[in-house]
Amino acid sequence: MKEEVLEIVKDYKNKSNKDLIKAMDLIIQDFEFCKNRIVELTVQLDKLENTYNTILKEYDRRTNS
């Protein structure tokens, strides 16, 4: 399916409306997938940063006293 869409993208000026709709549908699906992954990874990154900072504070407290 993706190869077919790549062909549509390469020659979109000469493709039918049906082909353009097919390409747009796949592009929207891919966009939503990527956007959701980025949000999930951002949440995970924030959790990792918070966890690291919590441990770092405790480490600093222990080594500075």
The rounded distance, in Å, linking the Cα atoms of 60 and 41 is: 28
pLDDT (0 to 100) of residue 65: 66
Backbone φ/ψ region at 14: left (φ over 0), alpha (ψ -120 to 50), beta: alpha
Question: pLDDT for 8-25, tens place per residue?
Answer: 999 999 999 999 999 999
The rounded distance, in Å, linking the Cα atoms of 65 and 58 is: 11
pLDDT (0 to 100) of residue 15: 97
Average pLDDT over residues 46-59: 98
Q: CA angle, 44 as apex, 54 and 63 as ends, to 5°? A: 15
- The answer to whether residue 58 scores a pLDDT higher than 80 is yes
The rounded distance, in Å, linking the Cα atoms of 58 and 51 is: 11
pLDDT (0 to 100) of residue 2: 83
Q: Give pTM, 2 decimals.
A: 0.75
Listed by start position, the domains of the chain span 2-63
Average pLDDT, the chain: 95
